Amino acid sequence: MKKSLIVILVLLAVATFSTGVMAQRYVVGTNASFPPFEYVEDGEIVGFDIDLVKEIAKLQGFEVEVRDISFDSLIPGLASGSLDMVAAGMTITADREKVIDFSDPYYSANQSVLVHEESDANLTVLFGNHDVGVQTGTTGDTWVRDNLLEDEILTGELRNYDSYVFVIRDLANGNIDAAVLDKPVAETYSQNNPVNVVAEIITGEEYGIAVGEGNEELLAEINAGLEKVKNNGTMEKLIQKYFE
Ligand code: ARG
């Protein structure tokens, strides 16, 4: 009786101790159709952002589990608590800042116009009766709505997609005339698909890692890790790995 009590106490102590030292695990949301920031390779979610959060996690002593969901579900996921953070090449915007919080910026980008490589279209493909593809909920989507659709500069269809993989497929098949998306990603797609970047739209965007509104503790961890990654040469290595 006494012996078993001791065994139980020891087991309890071990259990308490191990949970005490077990690293905090955070769920990271992304949309893995955005190479080289996040994409699926051999069934795994990989890319610049994934390496970046894993590096930050290692430096700050927490663990991450990455989930691939549609881009427009990422912000609701933070709000509902099903996601702890978002690493998705997400642009820091005033509208988003109202509902979520962003880390310090880690990458700058503009929008761009992508067409079929055999098309002789240029920037003017965005004017008139053409069909343009975007990913739902992105800054490219908003840009086309606000600048082209509202003023009826674009009179064709704005086609919304959950995944850029399907935007590129429809562009390659000739189902749409153009796509508007972040330039680094458009350039990456143009390396392995029959599509070309024909114009850049200077939007001056900056990407940040997002957390739920008011989650200051996690945000401080992310910013501290990000700072280290920038200062210890890792950021430069990641840029070389994915962009050169
Ligand atoms: N930077 C753009 C935005 O924030 C596009 C991001 C798309 N990211 C993705 N992982 N699909 O709206």
Ordered by where they begin, the domains of the chain are 23-106+208-243 (3.40.190.10), 109-204 (3.40.190.10)
Q: Which atom of ligand 1 is nearest to the CA of 137?
A: 12
| Phi (first) and psi of residue 82, to 5 degrees | -75, -20
Whether pLDDT at 115 is above 80: yes
- Distance (angstroms) between ligand 1 centre and the Cα of 89 equals 5
Distance from Cα 91 to the centre of ligand 1, integer Å: 7
Q: What is the mean pLDDT of residues 96-109?
A: 98
* Lowest pLDDT segment from 14-28, 33-47, 111-125, 157-171: 14-28
For residue 140, report the distance from its CA to the centre of ligand 1, in Å. Answer: 8
Q: Is the pLDDT of residue 2 over 90?
A: no
Position 20 scores a pLDDT of: 57
Determine the residue of 33, 34, 70, 165 to mutate for testing ligand 1's pocket, defined as the one with the most ligand atoms within 8 A of the Cβ atom. 34
What is the rounded distance in angstroms from the CA atom of residue 222 to the CA atom of residue 233? 17
pLDDT digits (tens, 9 = 90+) for 45-95: 999 999 999 999 999 999 999 999 999 999 999 999 999 999 999 999 999
Find the mean pLDDT for residues 23-33. 97
pLDDT at residue 43 is higher than 90:
yes
Q: Mean pLDDT, to the nearest integer, of 196-203?
A: 98
Q: How far is the CA of 90 from the centre of ligand 1 (A)?
A: 5
pLDDT in tens, 221-240: 999 999 999 999 999 999 99
Structure letter (DSSP) for residue 141: H
pLDDT tens-digit profile of 208-221?
A: 999 999 999 999 99
Ligand 1 atom at shortest distance from the alpha carbon of 31: 10
Ligand 1, from 103, 138, 144: best to mutate by most atoms within 8 Å of Cβ?
138
Q: Specify the higher pLDDT residue, 7 or 96.
A: 96
Q: Which ligand 1 atom minimizes the distance to the CA of 90?
A: 4
pLDDT surpasses 90 at 117 = yes
Is the distance from the beta carbon of residue 138 to the nearest atom of ligand 1 less than 6 Å? yes
Ligand 1 binding pocket includes 188 (Cβ within 6 Å)? no
The predicted pLDDT at position 13 comes to 55
Tell whether ligand 1 has an atom less than 6 A from the beta carbon of residue 38: yes
- How many angstroms separate the CA atoms of 155 and 213, rounded? 37
Ligand 1 pocket: which of 30, 106, 139 to mutate (most atoms <8 Å of CB)? 139
Q: Is residue 221 lining ligand 1, measured as CB closer than 6 Å?
A: no
Ligand 1 pocket member 185 (CB < 6 A): no
Residue 11: is its pLDDT beyond 80?
no
Which atom of ligand 1 is least distant from the CA of 49? Answer: 10
Instruction: Using the mean position of ligand 1's atoms as its centre, give its distance from the Cα of residue 7 in Å.
Output: 53
pLDDT at 63: 98
**Residue-level pLDDT at 15:** 55
Segment 85-106 mean pLDDT = 98
Confidence tier at 41 by pLDDT (50, 70, 90)? very high
Q: At what angle do helices 164-172 and 183-192 cross, to 10 degrees?
A: 50
Contact partners, residue 150, CB within 8 Å, separation at least 6: none
pLDDT in tens, 146-171: 999 999 999 999 999 999 999 999 99
Residue 12 pLDDT exceeds 70: no
Identify whether the C-beta of residue 38 lies closer than 8 Å to the C-beta of residue 31: yes
Sheet architecture: strand order including 85-86:
63-68, 25-30, 85-86, 210-212, 100-102
Q: What is the pLDDT of residue 22?
A: 83
Query: How confident is the prediction for the chain on average, in pLDDT?
Result: 94
